[in-house]
Chains A and B, each alone.
Chain A
Amino acid sequence: MTQPNEQILVIVPAYNEAAVIRKTVRGLLDAGYPVVVVDDCSTDGTAEKISDLNLFYIRHAINLGQGAALMTGMAFARRRDMDYVVHFDADGQHQVEDIPGLLAPLLEGVADITLGSRFLRRESRRLVPPLRRVLLKIAVLINGLFANMWLTDAHNGLRALNHRALEKIQLRENGMAHATEILSEIRQKKLRYREVPMKARYTEYSRSKGQSALDSLSILTDLIIRKIFL
Chain B
Amino acid sequence: MKPFQFILVPVILFLLVLFFRRLRHQPVMRILVMVVLVAGLVFSVFPDSTTLIANVLGIGRGTDLVMYLGMLGLFSVSGLLYLRILKLERMITEIVRQKALEE
Contact = CB atoms under 8 A, between A and B. Distances in A.
B101 A64 contact: no
B79 A68 contact: no
Interface in B69-103: 79, 82-83, 86, 89-90, 92-93, 96-97, 99-101, 103
Nearest to B80: A229
B103 A59 contact: yes
Interface residues of A, number: 18
A76 B102 CA distance: 10
Interface string A58-72: 111110100010011
Contacts of A190: none
Task: Name the prevailing secondary structure of the B interface residues.
Answer: helix
B49 to A, nearest CB: 34
Interface string A40-63: 000000000000000000111110
Interface in A95-134: none
Contacts of B100: 38, 58-61, 72
Contacts of B83: 229
Contacts of A59: 100, 103
Interface string A11-50: 0000000000000000000000000001000000000000
B1 to A, nearest CB: 43
A75 interface: yes
Contacts of B97: 60, 68, 71-72, 75
Given A61-B96, A62-B92, A225 B103 contact: no
B3 to A, nearest CB: 41
B82 A225 contact: yes
A216 interface: no
Given A225-B82, A229-B82, A79 B101 contact: yes
A172 interface: yes
Enumerate the 4 nearest inter-chain pairs by beta-carbon distance, A residue then B residue, closest first: A72-B97, A58-B100, A60-B96, A61-B96
21 contacts: A58-B101, A58-B103, A59-B103, A60-B97, A61-B96, A61-B99, A62-B92, A62-B96, A72-B97, A72-B100, A72-B101, A75-B97, A75-B101, A76-B101, A172-B90, A174-B89, A174-B93, A225-B82, A229-B79, A229-B82, A229-B86
